[in-house]
Chain A
Amino acid sequence: MTDAAAVITWINGPVIRARGSSKIAMGDMVGVSDQNLIGEVIGLHDDEMTIQVFEETSGLTPGMPVYSTGLPLSVELAPGLIGSIFDGIQRPLPVIERKTGSFIGRGFGLTPLDRRTRWSFTPLLIKGNKVSEGIAIGSVPETGVITHKIMIPHGISGTLTWVAPANDYTIDEVIARVETEHGEEPITMLRRCPVRKARSFKNRKEKNEPLLTGQRVLDTFFPLVKGGSAIIPGGFGTGKTITQHQVAKWSDADVVVYIGCGERGNEMTEVLQEFPKLIDPRSKRPLMERTILIANTSNMQVAARDASVYTGITIAEYYRDMGYHVALMADSTSRWAEAMREISGRLEEMPAQEGYPAYLSSRLAEFYERAGLVETFNGDTGSVSIIGAVSPPGGDFSEPVTQQTRQYTRVFWGLDKNLASARHFPSVNWLNSYSEYLDNVTEWWQAETQMPWRELRAKAMQILTEEGHLDQIVKLVGPDALPDDQRVTLETARLLREAFLQQNALDEIDTYATPQKQMKMLELILHFQARAEAVVSRGAIINTIQELPILNSLIRMKNTIPNEQLERLDEIRNALDEQFDQLELLYR
């Protein structure tokens, strides 16, 4: 390492310059000073390189050495990722805690994954099989729900000359050998993979299965697909983090990668303490057995915020390549964009909009392009879905990060300050949010719930839109001035908002709803509307409808009827019909 050392010439916060080594290349990971602080070369002009340092640079002086690692910024991939929490450059936080105590120190070259753990390897192929990149040669049960496929790394193809027998191995023991054109290559379970480049796959596939979140407003109204991407913009306190946590908890992904990017320490602690105790309703195993956490909290080094996003997406792609559906959450991508802005500012680059660098847009595009549903080299289907929170300054969606992210994503879950302050959660604004995947998932919903999802959804949306118009009139003359048929619309809209759209993440029953529950609830509310319209058209006045006891059951069905007892919704429907039948008797 020492022969290729460069020398620091300038230091300004997380950005330094160094000179004097021709061996260090653009994009290389470097060790800075004798403490080996981790950095990455982000600029190269003649002999002078610019480096962003992922650790605190306090105390560095010009003249200190910079060593090359000869590798681009990379992550380690092997069994042991799931259930872990890493910092932005994939250092395991529990190990850091053992080393430096409650506060994070610096300058320790740590290996991300444990070298001593022995994993139970079972070969899938035998000597003589032809293999190439991405082909699974064996498997390891990583957690109670995830079976880790050991795949041939990038750049290797040939014939298996040896595969280890089923047994326990560490991640750096040789478990196979491949005869390639360039000689025999030993294969271990451990890969190092550059993070700035997307991992390859065989081809993209059409996305037509929803990524269910159990959140009614998301699944029913603005659905995301497996392999799709969504954006959650919202001012502070509107519910971005809770929404991300809800998706991390209840979505039907196989693997969840959660990136806390420039946000609160306590929020990561919360996930860390809660997820091992929460049980996944599908697998009946603790949620932590499918979750990987990456934490670059707001007080950690700003350059590592950028790295955290790439670390996360690369790990997500790796599990996709095993044939899993991976959901990646990044909270908040605005902090990532701001980190780019800060580094760019220190380099005195020419700023574009609001001080952000001109390359902001292309970085966002590249990131969201890494979402997708693919056929893997191994012939499996896997996906990465990206759900990015955006924190617009002043809650104003016209700012550059929201606007540009919007261009590269197809689902927009816009959070609304007024809804949040009335504690209407999730505060997803139904009038300005959208999903461009409606066509993709229509068939799935129809088949899965045996209900006309698309029509029910359209009807509900129409009522809500109409409420928006009627509200303008109500604001001027009061609701009493409206004809009763329009007041039925208002009453139905109120039900939709309070009984369906509002969903309390903190309520044990309401926290997630199956597609069946969502459809039955929605159908019930629309059935109410149909019956109410009929009886009003016969001359009933709205107040008699508003006084029906069934309204109370409808409003409370979300948190009184668990997913497992949906037949109780049929009872409500019967009661509803009975009450309307009675009412109709009066208006024959």
Chain B
Amino acid sequence: MKTTERSAGLLIAGITSVEGPIIRVEDTGIVAYDEFVEIIDSKNQTRVGRVLEVGENFAVIEVFSGTSGLTTAGTSVRFSGRSLQVPVSREMLGRIFNGMGKPIDHGPLPLAHNFADINGQPINPTARIYPRDYIQTGISTIDAMNTLVMGQKVPIFSGSGIPHDLLANQIVRQARIGSQAGTNEERDENFAIVFAGMGIKHDVAESFRNAFTESGALNRVAMFLNLADDPVVERLVTPKIALTLAEYLAFKCDLHVLVVMTDITNYCEALRQISNKRGEVPSRKGYPGYMYSDLANLYERTGRIKGSEGSITQIPILTMPNDDITHPIPDITGYITEGQIVLSRTLTAQDIYPPVSVLPSLSRLMKDGIGEGKTRADHPALASQLYAAYAHVQDVRSLASVIGEEELSSIDQKYFEFGRAFEKQFVNQSFSENRSIEETLTIAWRILSILPKTELTRIKESDIEKYYGTA
């Protein structure tokens, strides 16, 4: 029911009330829920919005570009009779759009024969292909311990002042499908990037643009930018438009699409604002109870489906308020996505890049993407051992801070040394360093060999024989 004949084109002059980004219109006659509307102000400027609630003779509308300057008498509303649809086409690659999908790069309107509803539809689980092909990012902490898989959704949990954008840039530049890894060559023609910026600063947008340019990928990127000074409510639309294009590119054009969305925190703030203005009962910290479903409707638009060669891989970025991973935004995100890459302020302060805090990080799809015939047979156990050992390092460090490093048992001293090597040699790498999976696993074995063999209880004895002390 995408169109409602009755309300298409209906024009109502005058609105009843304005409350934040929400307006109320009465004497509407028949209007559809979720309908797309145009709001015309007294200066004949048009803004767009969406119907949030309808009664027999009223409609409540959220105005994407905000309501400042609207008067009750001087405003009229035109109903479209359909939900918000956007043009989608391959030509949109290489272009830059604003948060509502209008070109802002002075180029022509892209030619499009297809239009799609920005809300999308849920993928039928029976139609999905379970993702199993690993992506090499060239970053050791990710490839060895939180391996990405094509068609996965993995957010970066960060904080202000932590170089998450740099890391995202590096991933975008270096990511290769595992089977084609090891080459720095041009990526296949079937690769595309969709970038959605929500409430981001100009220089952040610019840094991503530069990164895309440098990697020669600019003509394979579509950027949707809702900047910090753009309307807040528009942020709720930007990622949906971006994902609508991504779905078209992946499932109709058979491209492997990497979607980077930043900053999810700004998106959630917009959600909260609308909800508060509507007087809804909040759940935690003032965020609406439906934030889980709302975010799921973004994040679940990822994956692979039968009958298509393409895929959507999502890397949303969010800044954790107060670096608090239990804050509703990272918390709800972690419950929906297929893992998370957590960045650490402590490592940042020690000038370790990328400052990936491995212990709270996770890739849920890694288990099916690595191992024999994919990366290497010893990889799963090796990763598990690194986790166990580095977790023990944390205990050793806190003990050392009480009794002093010299007083540690000889084994714990080894762990102490391992911890240092882990951070300096394994976690730390340069922005331009693109490690192959072999290199990464070699470094892992080198630092694990600091520990006595008997500590490597998670690794098969035959693999210990094969790799221990060889690097």
Residues of chain A having any CB pair with chain B under 8 Å: 9-13, 33, 35, 56-63, 85, 93-94, 96-97, 100-105, 107, 235-237, 260, 262, 264-266, 268-270, 272-273, 295, 297-300, 302, 335, 338, 341-342, 345, 348, 351, 354-355, 391, 393-396, 421-424, 474-480, 498, 504, 506, 551-552, 555-556
Contact = CB atoms under 8 A, between A and B. Distances in A.
Interface string B259-299: 00000000000000000000011111000011011001101
Contacts of A237: 334, 339-340, 362, 364
B30 A61 contact: yes
Interface in B369-388: 380, 384, 387-388
B297 A478 contact: no
Contacts of A236: 331, 334-335
B7 A61 contact: yes
Nearest to B361: A421
Contacts of B407: 478
Contact of B402 (A264, A272, A475, A552): A475
B55 A9 contact: yes
Main secondary structure on A side of the interface with B: mixed
Contacts of A299: 122-123, 293, 296-297, 300-301
Contact of B1 (A107, A298, A422, A477): A107
Interface stretch (B17-25, B67-75, B102-110, B124-132): B124-132
A474 B388 CA distance: 19
Given A93-B126, A102-B307, A11 B1 contact: no
Nearest to B298: A299
Interface in B329-385: 331-332, 334-336, 338-340, 359-360, 362, 364-365, 367, 380, 384
B56 interface: yes
Given A58-B34, A59-B1, A266-B131, A103 B122 contact: yes
B457 A297 contact: no
B208 interface: no
A272 B30 contact: no
A192 B53 CA distance: 35
A502 B297 CA distance: 35
B303 A342 contact: no
A509 to B, nearest CB: 12
B471 interface: no
Contacts of B362: 237
Contacts of A297: 122, 125, 296, 300
Contact of B54 (A11, A101, A338): A11
A300 B125 CA distance: 11
Contact of A59 (B33, B251, B359): B33
B27 to A, nearest CB: 13
B322 interface: no
B127 A102 contact: yes
B228 interface: no
Contact of A9 (B56, B327, B398, B457): B56
Contact of B281 (A300, A345, A480): A345
Interface of B: 1-4, 6-7, 30-35, 52-56, 82-83, 119-131, 251, 280-284, 289-290, 292-293, 296-297, 299-301, 303, 305-308, 326-328, 331-332, 334-336, 338-340, 359-360, 362, 364-365, 367, 380, 384, 387-388, 391-392, 395, 398-399, 402-403, 407-409, 412, 454, 457, 461
Contact of B398 (A107, A262, A264, A475): A475
A423 B407 CA distance: 28
Contact of B289 (A272, A342, A476, A555): A342
B228 to A, nearest CB: 28
Contact of A62 (B56, B121, B128, B359): B56
A20 B20 CA distance: 35
Nearest to A96: B124
A272 B126 contact: yes
B336 A298 contact: yes
A269 B54 contact: no
A237 B362 CA distance: 7
Contacts of A35: 1
B300 A61 contact: no
A431 to B, nearest CB: 17
A151 to B, nearest CB: 30
A351 B281 contact: yes
Contacts of B131: 266
Nearest to A339: B293
A555 B388 CA distance: 14
Contacts, number: 221
A480 B334 CA distance: 40
A57 B328 CA distance: 27
Q: Ordered nearest first, which 7 A-B pairs have the shortest CB separation?
A: A394-B326, A422-B391, A298-B296, A59-B1, A58-B34, A102-B127, A236-B334
Given A59-B33, A61-B6, A102-B124, 12 more contacts: A35-B1, A56-B121, A58-B119, A59-B83, A61-B32, A97-B127, A103-B124, A104-B121, A266-B303, A354-B284, A355-B281, A476-B403
Contacts of B54: 10-11, 61-62
A478 B359 contact: no
Nearest to A62: B56
B367 A478 contact: no
B300 A264 contact: yes
18 contacts: A61-B33, A102-B123, A235-B334, A262-B293, A265-B128, A266-B131, A269-B125, A272-B126, A273-B130, A302-B290, A335-B292, A338-B292, A348-B281, A355-B283, A422-B359, A476-B403, A478-B408, A478-B409
Given A103-B121, A295-B125, A506 B403 contact: no
Contacts of B284: 354, 393
Contacts of A556: 457, 461
B123 A264 contact: no
Contact of B33 (A57, A63, A504): A57
A533 B336 CA distance: 48
Most buried by A among B6, B124, B297: B124
Nearest to A394: B326
Contacts of A479: 409
Nearest to A299: B300
B260 to A, nearest CB: 20
A316 to B, nearest CB: 20
Contacts of A102: 123-124, 127, 251, 305-308
Contacts of B399: 474-475, 478
Contacts of A10: 53-56
Contacts of A59: 1-4, 32-35, 82-83
Most buried by A among B31, B335, B409: B335
A574 B136 CA distance: 47
A587 B464 CA distance: 34
B53 A12 contact: yes
A98 to B, nearest CB: 10
A190 B461 CA distance: 57
Contacts of A264: 300, 336, 338
Most buried by B among A61, A85, A268, A300: A61
